Amino acid sequence: MQERLSDVPSAIVVGTTVSEEQTVLVTALSRPDVLLIAPQLADGTGCSALERLRSAGFQGTAYAMVAGGNGACGADCAGSGVDAFYDKGQDLDRLVDTISLLAQDPYSVIAGTIELPRTRQARCSCPQRCE
């Protein structure tokens, strides 16, 4: 993903994380405009991290990168404040296009001048049954 985003003008990857705590810390310190989360992390979940960040005032755009046709853990992430889901196998180009639009004009989202993908409704199919 980082390699794909390197082709997007104005997009800078400010950090990558493997745990919920790292996600909260890096996001709080770097204050990104866009946060990409994975529902399952090595320790904790990206959805829980996002919920914590939202309750602490994070107002950036948040996208969940899910795997599988139904978007594993999608339903659980919907309540955490995620703005949209992208399937890692099928939606990567669409995600990069969306981030390109945001990088060109971050205020267009506020003004409602571009249409972003709507959040997908999905059922969790993870073995751990996401929190």
Domain boundaries, the chain: 2-111
> For the residues 75-96, what does the mean pLDDT come to?
81
Please check whether residue 66 is in contact with residue 39, taking contact to mean a CB–CB distance below 8 angstroms: yes
> For the residues 5-12, what does the mean pLDDT come to?
80
DSSP state of 131: -
- Residues recorded for the chain: 131
Residue 107: pLDDT over 50:
yes
Residue 120: pLDDT over 50:
no
Q: Give domain 2-111's CATH number out of 3.30.2290.10, 3.40.50.2300, 3.90.1150.10, 3.40.50.300.
A: 3.40.50.2300
| pLDDT band, very low/low/confident/very high, at 3 (cuts 50, 70, 90) | confident
pLDDT at 22: 94
Q: Is 9 left (phi over 0), alpha (psi -120 to 50) or beta?
A: beta
Residue 60: pLDDT over 50:
yes
pLDDT at 109: 54
Q: In terms of Cα–Cα distance, which of 23, 33, 14 is closest to 100?
A: 33
pTM: predicted TM-score of the whole model, two decimal places:
0.74
What is the CA 100 to chain-centroid distance, rounded?
A: 15
